[in-house]
Amino acid sequence: MVVALSRKHGIEVGRDAVRTAMRVLGLTALNPGPETSTPHPEHTVYPYLLSGVSAARPNHIWGTDITYIRLTDGFCYLVAYLDWFSRRVLAWRLSNSLETSFCTETLTNALATVLPEIHNSDQGVQYTSEEYLAVLKAHDSIAISMDGRGRCMDNIFTERLWRTVKYEDVYLKGYATIDEVRGGLTEYFRFYNTERPHQSLGYRTPDEVYYENTKTS
């Protein structure tokens, strides 16, 4: 906040003054939400395959993760599949619980169109379950990769996606219900894929990079 006030508004102020102003105004930082990556001690964990590896083409590497979205009375959960090369969101789904089925169904829908060479996730119970892994292992060409415990940077592109989605849409809208979230994110992900330029993509959109390189790969 101190840096933002200085850079964007030319206001020079100390941290103590910012804390005092926030307290007077009743502003608080966003508190951590529910844990979405709880491991299961009896589930199979696969090694991380992406050290020193960069996505070289569309569908080379898919990353997936689950995040929470705060509602008026509780939370809902969002899973997404991201193409690391183009940053394109390939599939996503919301659920009011962390049951494995909502991840498995979203993965199945994504794989119905195209297969990745490498699928990367964390070690959460959804991704290490037999039900989920069976969907991946049904395709011999897919290599399974999992982040190291406590290493969110192993899945950095999906972590960046969550930050973008929340700061550009979720926190601004303050959704009350899961139906409101679904409607809002349907529009946001359309915008994200087709209109939002990414500096890391040379200010092109994910769709432009994904489809241009799919034609030539």
What's the rounded Cα separation, in Å, for the pair 136 and 118?
10
Give the count of domains, the chain. Answer: 2
Map tokens 């689950």 to a residue.
66
Q: What is the domain-level CATH number for residue 178?
A: 3.30.420.10
Tokens read off for 9: 């508004």
Asked whether residue 91 falls in the same domain as residue 153, the answer is yes
Domain presence at residue 133: yes
Query: From CA 147, how far away is CA 141, in angstroms rounded?
Result: 20
Does 53 fall in a domain?
no
Residue 71 falls inside a structural domain: yes
In a domain, 39, yes or no: no
Same domain? For 137 and 205 the reply is yes
Q: What digits encode the pLDDT tens for the residues 52-91?
A: 999 999 999 999 999 999 999 999 999 999 999 999 999 9
Q: In whole angstroms, what is the distance from residue 83 CA to residue 214 CA?
A: 12
Query: Domain residues for 112?
Result: 61-216
pLDDT tens digits, 101-153: 999 999 999 999 999 999 999 999 999 999 999 999 999 999 999 987 655 56
User: What is the amino acid identity at position 152?
Assistant: C
Distance from chain centroid for Cα 104: 16
Name the token pair of 179: 């139906």
Do residues 19 and 81 both lie within one domain?
A: no
